[in-house]
């Protein structure tokens, strides 16, 4: 069975203005205690088979070399050597990805990096609240190449406050010239509780759509496979760990705020770092949410995850019975298309995917789902 292992490192140098993830600035002093708590939690799932590894955050590259080795020891003791995973990814920010850490990561067996760039424009990076500048990204990227990484993802964000189409395309073309194996491009979302939300930042949806349309054209022409709404890869470099999510595979999450999906049950740990450490040091469960999806909720989630992939999905008889009217509605309004037995997002549906996905999430439209 395909199963992914996710480990959450919630610490950051500075919280970005758009970020609503479970990440915390100025708490690096808790890193060693946090790693100790991770060791306690990992023992609970010892020897569960996982094929991919993803260390995310937060900023995992904040860990010092000795802390990275300690993390690897936890993984090795309870699961297997990092090099034995089919794919092993660590998220990194340019300002903390040093040549020494790159060497350590390669020695530990990591074979993939995901680097948060977001923009090549220093003014835009400052607006986002990023710590790094474009030159630091370039230096970190080159160091990763020289250090032996041959599978690198880089993130970009479209639709930043004050960003022009020309500026965004400049960043995109600059990145394509570096030829990373994988590129993720996300349209900016203003999430409640973030500094951008509090500042009243509003996205220019029409301009953002133009940026995303140009992204698809540019990257496709450059030989990248557009395989998921926000993700592009050179052939053979599609992200295995994330693809498992979209195929509704099982995953085990360790750390504060980490989510798991196993044996039909979805659960999530506390997002509070202090509570997580306290619970693990005192033999308590860090789980604060658990549910078993059944019936329409389970089938709907499987459909919406699969539809994120541009190859689409062949609905089961049960899914057609539950969601046939909703599927037909979106075929008629041009957001879905049918190819042989599969349904997939249309060109228009790529940019209005949230409208499609709402049809497969409770509460269901009684007219479209019977």
Q: Model confidence over 15-55: pLDDT tens digits?
A: 887 887 888 888 899 999 999 999 999 999 987 999 999 99
**312, 345 in Cβ contact below 8 A?**
yes
CATH topology of domain 295-360: Arc Repressor Mutant, subunit A (1.10.10)
Q: Which residues pair with 158 in a beta bridge?
A: 187
Q: What's the average model confidence in pLDDT over 309-334?
A: 95
Q: Model confidence over 65-110: pLDDT tens digits?
A: 999 999 999 999 999 999 999 999 999 999 999 999 999 999 999 9
Instruction: Return the structure tokens found at 60.
Output: 């995992």
Cα–Cα dist 167/86, whole Å: 37
Q: Tokens 């990373």 label which residue?
A: 180
**Residue 180: which pLDDT band, with cuts at 50, 70 and 90?**
very high
- Residue-level pLDDT at 313: 95
CA distances from residue 238 to 46, 89, 242 in whole angstroms, order as listed = 28, 12, 9
CA distances from residue 232 to 71, 176, 262 in whole angstroms, order as listed = 29, 11, 28
Q: What's the average model confidence in pLDDT over 345-369?
A: 82
**322, 299 in Cβ contact below 8 A?**
yes
Q: Which residues pair with 121 in a beta bridge?
A: none
CATH 3.30.450.40 fits 3-245, yes or no: no
Contacts of 213 (CB under 8 A, 6+ apart): 351
Q: What's the average model confidence in pLDDT over 119-135?
A: 95
pLDDT at 370 over 90: no
pLDDT at 367 over 70: no
SS3 per residue for the chain: CCEEEEEEECEECCCCCCCCCCCEECCHHHHHHHHHHHHHHHHCCCCCCCCEEEEEECCHHHCCHHHHHHHHHHHHHHCCCHHHCCEEEEEECHHHCCHHHHHHHHHHCCCEEEEEEECCCHHHHHHHCCCCCHHHHHHHHHHHHHCCCCCEEEEEEECCCCCCHHHHHHHHHHHHHHCCCEEEEEECCCCCCCHHHHHCCCCCHHHHHHHHHHHHHHHHHCCCEEEECCEEECCCCCCHHHHHHHCCCEEEEECCCCEEEECCEEEEECCCHHHHHHHHHCCCCCEEEEEECCHHHHHHHHHHHHHCECCCECCCHHHHHHHHHHHHHHHHCCCEEEECCEEEECCCCCCCHHHHHHHHCCCCCCCCCC
Contacts of 229 (CB under 8 A, 6+ apart): 308, 310, 345, 350, 353
Contacts of 12 (CB under 8 A, 6+ apart): 23, 24, 25, 57, 58, 59, 62
Q: What percent of the chain has pLDDT over 90?
A: 86
Q: What's the average model confidence in pLDDT over 205-223?
A: 97
- Residue-level pLDDT at 364: 66
Average pLDDT across the chain, whole number:
94
Instruction: Return the structure tokens found at 4.
Output: 């992914």
Domain segments of the chain as ranges? 3-245, 295-360
Cα–Cα dist 237/248, whole Å: 20
**245, 305 in Cβ contact below 8 A?**
yes
pLDDT at 368 over 90: no
152-158 and 112-118 strand pairing = parallel
Provide the angle, in degrees to the nearest 10, between the axes of the packed helices 165-178 and 205-221: 30
Q: What's the average model confidence in pLDDT over 353-364?
A: 88
């Amino acid at each position: 069975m395909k199963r992914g292992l996710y480990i959450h490192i919630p610490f950051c140098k500075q919280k970005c203005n758009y970020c609503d993830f479970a990440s915390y600035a100025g708490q690096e002093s808790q890193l060693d205690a946090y790693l100790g708590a991770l060791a306690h939690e990992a023992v609970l799932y010892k020897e569960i088979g996982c094929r991919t590894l993803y260390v995310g955050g937060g900023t995992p590259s904040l860990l010092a070399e000795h802390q990275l080795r300690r993390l690897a020891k936890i993984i090795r003791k309870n699961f297997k050597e990092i090099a034995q995973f089919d794919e092993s990814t660590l998220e990194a920010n340019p300002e903390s990805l040093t040549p020494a850490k790159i060497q350590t990561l390669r020695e530990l067996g990591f074979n993939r990096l995901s680097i948060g760039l977001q923009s090549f424009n220093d003014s835009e990076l400052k607006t986002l609240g990023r710590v790094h500048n474009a030159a630091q990204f370039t230096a970190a990227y080159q160091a990763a190449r020289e250090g032996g990484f041959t599978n690198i993802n880089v993130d970009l964000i479209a639709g930043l406050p004050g960003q022009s189409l020309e500026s965004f395309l400049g960043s995109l073309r600059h990145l394509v010239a570096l030829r990373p194996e994988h590129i993720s491009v996300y349209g900016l979302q203003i999430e409640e509780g973030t500094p951008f939300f509090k500042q009243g930042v509003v996205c220019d949806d029409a301009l953002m759509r133009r940026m995303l349309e140009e992204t698809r054209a540019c990257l496709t022409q450059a030989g990248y496979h557009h395989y998921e709404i926000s993700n592009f890869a050179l052939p053979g470099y599609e992200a295995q760990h994330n693809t498992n999510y979209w195929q509704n595979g099982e995953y085990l999450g360790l750390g504060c705020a980490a989510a798991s999906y196993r044996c039909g049950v979805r659960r999530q740990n506390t997002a509070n770092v202090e509570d997580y450490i306290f619970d693990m040091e005192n033999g308590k469960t860090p789980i604060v949410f658990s549910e078993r999806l059944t019936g329409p909720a389970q089938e709907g989630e499987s459909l919406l995850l699969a539809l994120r992939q541009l190859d689409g999905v062949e609905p089961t008889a049960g899914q057609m019975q539950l969601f046939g009217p909703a599927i037909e509605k979106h075929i008629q309004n041009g957001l879905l298309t049918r190819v042989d037995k599969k349904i997939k997002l249309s060109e228009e549906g790529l940019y209005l995917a949230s409208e499609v996905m709402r049809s497969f999430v409770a509460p269901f439209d009684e007219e479209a789902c019977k």
